[in-house]
Structure 1
């Protein structure tokens, strides 16, 4: 998907495609000439699983697109976390009575917080002393309850709602300060 397309932006098109609720969810990669953090953040927030620049060598581009079949995210985790930490603070959603975080159990919040830290399912399982399949189940429930389409979108959600905090451990947004 390109960022700028005639009639409908690539990000709006991605959101529409992902909103169809197809199972499995399509894996959308942004391919663009715009190397701008704002566009990368918007793509992740929309549920895209990757962001690539058109000036990549053809073999590298082909390999990167192919990698989306097995990878959760096609952007370096450190780059993603820095990007989200920089932008999520300014993009936080206002709290409402129907706050979607209230749909999550404490364990689901904990898993989402670890995902936002960039941990793999195996690492999360180790921290929580549970099996990797249990982590996958919790994460699947989070994604379903919140209508999220990618791990990257889950990370954005975690920062925007306060489940994850810049430089901090995962917390429930409505919990008293620790």
Structure 2
């Protein structure tokens, strides 16, 4: 059973950077993609923490970008040849939602990376997710749309409660 989340991570990061494109040239594009990929990687590891979880999603498929496109008003796949849009079937709505929340809330991103470090028993999580946790001015300029809380709110709010449940088990429902 395939347990590699790389296709899901790549497709979901690509969707995010397409829906919220970088501001600038090639360097800005690379910086924006790095931030999206770090957020999506953290979200995917939280969503699918075991090999069994990863295997099941790779076997069943993550669901695709249809609902996300509708929410954001993105282009429809009907307007383009299928081979140009096949990657979109690997977009995971929950992972995209969680990644959007992490990109727009530094405290939540810190909780997520801490949870990953605790689960993996590693000390390098902060370094691995540096652009997510501590973006510099260049990162912020490059990903101005990708980190804009008002623009990402419709996506981030889709599964925000599930992310909070994952990061803060036993939290009060009134919180």
TM-score, reference length from structure 1: 0.27
Greater Rg by CA: 1
Task: Point out which structure has higher relative CO (alpha carbons under 8 A, 6+ apart).
Answer: 2
More strand per residue: 1
Identify, as 1 or 2, the structure richer in helix: 2
TM-score between both structures, scaled by the size of structure 2: 0.27
